[in-house]
Structure 1
Amino acid sequence: MAEDDDDHDDRAETAYREGLDSFPDGLDLLTAYAELCLASDYLERPSRHRRGPELALRVRELAPGSQQALRLEQRARRGGSLGIKGPRPPSPQRTQLHDARLALAAASDPRSAAVRAGAQALARPGDDRLAVLAETLTALTGPGRAPLRWTVRAPLTTALLRAAWCAVVLLAVPALHLPGWARLAVVVPSLPALALRRSLLRRARARAAARPPAPPEDISGAPASPSLPPVPAYRRRELAAGAAILVGLVAASTISGIWSYRQYSAYPHYTVAAPEYVRGFARQHGGSTLERLEGAMDPDVPGGNWHPYVYTYGTDPEHPAIAVWGATGDFHDAPSNAVRDLQESIDEPGFTPRSNWNADPGRLGGTMPCMAYEVQGIPMLNCVWLDKGSMGTVCFGDEGQDREATAALARSVREAVMHRGATGGAEA
């Protein structure tokens, strides 16, 4: 039969039928013949193929809940064979977890449960289900396996706790303004344990399947009743809990995503209102520098509804002491290096950069790099800021002030011009 040859399959079927004439209730013989029939081609051997579900039902009648009966039912359903009625048989993993849970609950400690299951498996070497149980309990009694045993003992409780933890983390990210990578806390505590349990269960089944074949049993009479009870169908409480977990996780993920996106895309709305005086310098309402800057500011910048502004302060309209210009609008998508690129793209005759540094942006936030440079030999200072709702530049002469004094002047000019929900002051 293992050679998968038509002539050999015919000879195997003849041998099985002769054996069943003498031992009609032989469980292993029925199982082997049923596997042969279920694996046969429906078009080439229709009569043999039809016997498969009948033999599977007979095995289920003789040994309900046994590993042989479950394996045959699953194979018959996968192959689309007719004649198998009733609820779908449980998966091998569900059967394995059900048996382990019952064994752990009946024993005083995990090691006693493993010893007892091992003795039962030795007493019934032909029982695949007992062999899987013994291997599973032996693996669960290893060092550091207490958390895995808890997931086996209380699967519903642990699933609800994991789902609650995931929902809390997902909602805490936008609620507490945590970084996006904080969502990894959803999978870090859960996935390794689940993956380890799944791997442990799979290896236990593989070891049970690889054990030496059992010696023939006495099948002269009806086989003994199965040593393990049938696996029950899912209860309503389990189905309701599973549905609640699914709905809760989908809802938490959706709310977290929408909430985070709104936070990401939100930007402060500023009112631009320059004071009449800044650092003792009066605001200028004309001059070539102001006109040149106003002409350079394009109000129709592609990609956003931006509102430009330009102000100059000083005593000489042609050479202002302080110049500030920029725009308000939606800058939430602007890259963080945009201010540095803008600062370094100054195109003036005789422009020579000397040094640059990142300064404290102050209470309005964002980023604010500053730069010392020269224009035709005249030392100058420049600070550029960028936040989600505005960008701007402050230029003034370098009179030997240190970096902190430079940043303080830039912050005072920015905060004098930009106002959230206010109309601005008269002097800064």
Structure 2
Amino acid sequence: MTTTDVYDERCEQLFLAGGLAGVRRTATQGLDEAGPHADLYCWLAVAHASEDDDDHDTEAERAFRRGLALDADHLGLLAGYAELCLRSDSFDHPGRAARAGELTRRLEELAPDSAENAQLRAAHRWAGRSYWQDLRMSAAEAAVKRRERETRSDEIAGALKGRGPGEARAAARAAAAARPDDRRAAVLADTLEALSGPGTGWLRWAARHRAEAWAVSFALSALTSLLLRTTGVVHGFGPWGLLWTVPMLLADARLTSVRKEAERLAVARLEARLSGSEEAGSATAPATTAEAGA
């Protein structure tokens, strides 16, 4: 396996784990060590473009163009650059937006049946969506995020069931150690670690009983609004009853923050492990060669 292949594989693993910053660091390190290569420029560009930020988009375009200068027929670079151009504002970046058509035609000519071209076609459909399609997609994304929060709460509740925070944390650490490639187990272990500290009992309770707590919050909100209206304190249904939802909103926000930090730690460990394994391999190779010569 060449040096470029090693960095390419590391970038792929980090990207799948959601470590965009790690992908950029790894791709840049690979370019510095192995020299210019279209695949590494592709990873660097995609990791910038995935941030969906103007500054990152500028860096992504620079990486796409450098990669295409090395390999004008690179399918990943063509598809990624075309997607970036498609989502660019034609007023702020007219030149970038205008290049989408040319890149799309080039990819269609080179590989009409490729996965990259299929993905680009989907991006074209998304770019041409109607208002109602956009609204439905936003609702679907909100539903997915809600299910993800529920799944995370279920995982925490399952880990804490019948156990104290210390015991649950130790069990999660043991499970993560037994499955070093299981990112989900590592994230759960780090989450329980954060929820085992002082002053986090209410968060553990909120995670274990999230559905019930939200149901009670909404019921109290409706009851409070009704009582305030019937007693003449307020006219109509005001926002005061919604104050009952504030504790759960705070709990959800805190749990999300804890989860994101746990995911960041998991990606950092993966990056360190990949970097360490490569360094170990580089150190072992000369020794093995010397032993063979001896």
TM-score, structure 1 as length reference: 0.32
More helix by share: 2
Higher normalized contact order (CA 8 Å, seq sep 6+, divided by chain length): 2
TM-score, structure 2 as length reference: 0.44
Q: Which has the larger radius of gyration?
A: 1
More strand by share: 1
